Structure 1
Amino acid sequence: MALDPQVVAWRAARAAAGTAPLYTQTLAEARAADLAAIRAGSGAVEPVHEVRDTQVPGPDGPLPVRIHRSAGDGPLPTLVYFFGGGWTLGSVDTADGICRRLVNATGCQTVTVGYRLAPEHRFPAAVDDCYSALRWLAAHADEVGADPERLAVGGDSAGGNLAAAVTLLARADGGPRLVAQLLVYPNTDQRPGRFDDSSSARLAPRSDLEPSPADEDPLLFNRHSVAWYRQHYLADPADAAHPLASPLLAEDLAGLPPALVITAEHDPLRDEGERYAARLRDAGVPTEATRYEGMIHGFFAMPGVFDAGRRAQEQAAAFLRDRFGLTAAGVAGPAADGATHG
């Protein structure tokens, strides 16, 4: 249960700087601080072949999107990426470093969707935006240079939640067809009592029955962070039981795209992410799940601080290459069979 030494050093630096928890700040302060922290932890900005900001139609007006594209002629396999930030913070800038690295390591393109944020726009606004953008991109793939037969969705934290929700909607509608879902420490269960209510504990127990140091630590993402984001996102507490808010509560997960689920040992969202991965496997969905020991929520976005963040991004790129049928960045290989378990 020990924190990774790099996490210990990072936490000590935050303590020395007097860093305040995001949930104690105003929305404007928290949004600025979140982006600044991600940029500071992302490391060197990797150049990519093309970066383009544009818009796609949304259910309540145009949605900003950022396209990162690797070199290559013709349509490229495309990851539609949803940024993290508890549905309350974040923008296409938040995922810029992640998308640059995935594009370079995979040979694909990414399209980051600037969905509407809470509390200005509560559930299901973000889900509606993300799904609307995916449907438009699939129907207009030629306009963005995407291969409509090789579309995937992904995201970290709240973005992982949105990616999971989008797969449920795509299955219900009979498309767009998705070849993969990348879920990085996703929220999958919004019920407020799941940390301490006995009935919730039976549904999603901690696998080691010991509290994580991160659960209460104000210098780390903790259960108070989870509650703060949830209260901004949900329009009604009853929405916590909706499968598009809590994909773990969906009755059936069969027929969803092959998944990679990445979790962090010291993360209040760890168990719900791992339980979702287990339910995907039980439903016959090819699923790989990896827990990064000693790590905390947010590590995936900070490869400039945490070596595990770099390794996790490399793992994500390898998963996408396999699902897109690429043997190296931009080089076509045999079609993936989808049978990856872990």
Structure 2
Amino acid sequence: MPIHPAVSGKFPLIEGVSSFEQLLFDPAYRDRFAEFNRPAVGGPPPVVPTRADSAPGPHGPVPIRIYTPEDAGGDRPCVVWMHGGAFRIGDLDMPEADWVARELVTRAGAVVVSVDYRLAVGGVTHPVPLDDVVAAVRWTRDHAADLGVDRVHVGGASAGGNLAAGAALRLRDEDGWTPASLVLAYPVLHPELPPRSPSLVARMAEVPPILHFPPHEVRAITENYLGGPVSRADGYAMPGLASLEGLCPTLLLTAEYDDLRGSGQVFVGQLAEAGVDVRYVQVLSMLHGFLNLPSAIEPVGRALDLIAETIVAHDPAFVST
């Protein structure tokens, strides 16, 4: 399917840009990047009650933001959600964190706990971000009654999906507990990307180079997170290396136009081989990071509905696809 026009229509704004860092930090490109990120369609996300809190963690308090329905009460689901950003950028205000949380409160009647984990900058490396996420999930699980929820799901996007899966594995092994389900959006779960299929190579030819994830850049992101070579990775840092038996039901979404989707596809196969109940959906016409786009863009709205349906279910059950 062609790239969605709400996305491809913005491509002229990033012509001639040589690196993502240039977009982020070069003042000459600041206005163009702001326009590129400005939604082409749709209005603001839903307004829902929020409050700030923190979870105690081994590296200090972990800031969290709690989103609740207007009529919050018992017998509700909760999802602990982690934003992406290559482990080194992102915050609770980015759309992939804030908009997603507001949409899930509205669509699923869920409580959402969004986690401001420590980023891999300034000498911070694995396992610190993962420790923060594990601490936030434990806090949510242990405060379920106070939050008015009866089941806890865990999810995240991109690097946040990696952290969500790593946290589920840690909690399985250390606490003998797993979330009600795991929701992963366009995650990277392996220290090295699987080779791209011919069809993916053809699709990525339609995407500006600045929006690609070539292997050397993915390796640099991974090494920055690990604080050293990719050989340091274990199954908690890169869940594609882990034993996956006993993991909870998992919904995994990838984008059609995304160099990274091979990692998610391989992980789906690993989950199925391990006997984990898994559902895989490729979101057509979208690029990596599509949860930063407004839900008025139909594929994004449908993806949010899939996530909402998963976290509403008391006992998520999927058929592998």
The residue aligned with 2:179 is 178
SS at match of 2:248: coil
The residue aligned with 1:53 is 52
Percent pairwise identity: 33
The residue aligned with 2:98 is 96
State the Cα deviation string for residues 44-87 of structure 1 (Å, max 9, x = none): 33334421111111211111101111123236321000111111
The residue aligned with 2:305 is 314
TM-score (norm 1): 0.81
- 1:273 Cα deviation after fit: 0.4
The residue aligned with 1:340 is 319
State the Cα deviation string for residues 217-247 of structure 1 (Å, max 9, x = none): 3331422653443343220114553112211
- 1:6 Cα deviation after fit: 3.6
Are 1:115 and 2:117 matched, yes or no? yes
- 1:10 Cα deviation after fit: 2.5
The residue aligned with 1:217 is 208
- 1:14 Cα deviation after fit: 3.5
SS at match of 1:273: helix
Superposed, 1:1-342 pairs within 5 Å as 2-15=2-15, 21-24=19-22, 40-41=38-39, 43-70=42-69, 71-74=71-74, 76-94=76-94, 95-120=97-122, 121-147=124-150, 150-191=151-192, 194=193, 204-208=194-198, 211-214=201-204, 217-223=208-214, 225-239=217-231, 241-250=233-242, 252-303=243-294, 306-322=297-313, 325=314, 336=315, 338-342=317-321
Aligned residues: 311
Q: Distance in 2 between matches of 1:318 and 1:214?
A: 30
SS at match of 2:283: strand
State the Cα deviation string for residues 256-295 of structure 1 (Å, max 9, x = none): 0101100012111101101101111121111110112332
**C-alpha contact (below 8 Å) 1:7/1:306 kept by paired residues:** no
Q: Distance in 1 between matches of 2:36 and 2:64?
A: 19
SS at match of 2:211: coil
Q: Distance in 1 between matches of 2:119 and 2:36?
A: 18
State the Cα deviation string for residues 81-139 of structure 1 (Å, max 9, x = none): 01111110111112000110011000111001110001221111111110111112212
- AA at the equivalent of 2:101: C
- 1:20 Cα deviation after fit: 6.2
Q: Distance in 2 between matches of 1:22 and 1:320?
A: 34
Q: Distance in 2 between matches of 1:63 and 1:153?
A: 16
TM-score (norm 2): 0.86
Runs (4+) off by over 6 Å: 26-29
**C-alpha contact (below 8 Å) 2:181/2:316 kept by paired residues:** no
RMSD (Å) for aligned C-alpha atoms: 2.8
**C-alpha contact (below 8 Å) 1:11/1:220 kept by paired residues:** no
Q: Distance in 2 between matches of 1:28 and 1:142?
A: 47
- 1:28 Cα deviation after fit: 10
- 1:183 Cα deviation after fit: 0.3
**C-alpha contact (below 8 Å) 1:239/1:245 kept by paired residues:** no
- Evaluate the alpha carbon distance shift between residue 305 and residue 21 of structure 1 in structure 2; reply closer, same or farther with a 3 A threshold: farther
Q: Distance in 2 between matches of 1:62 and 1:262?
A: 31
**C-alpha contact (below 8 Å) 2:196/2:259 kept by paired residues:** no
Q: Distance in 1 between matches of 2:129 and 2:181?
A: 20
- Evaluate the alpha carbon distance shift between residue 5 and residue 44 of structure 1 in structure 2; reply closer, same or farther with a 3 A threshold: closer
- AA at the equivalent of 1:187: V
**C-alpha contact (below 8 Å) 1:183/1:259 kept by paired residues:** yes
- 5+ residue gaps, structure 1: 195-203, 326-335
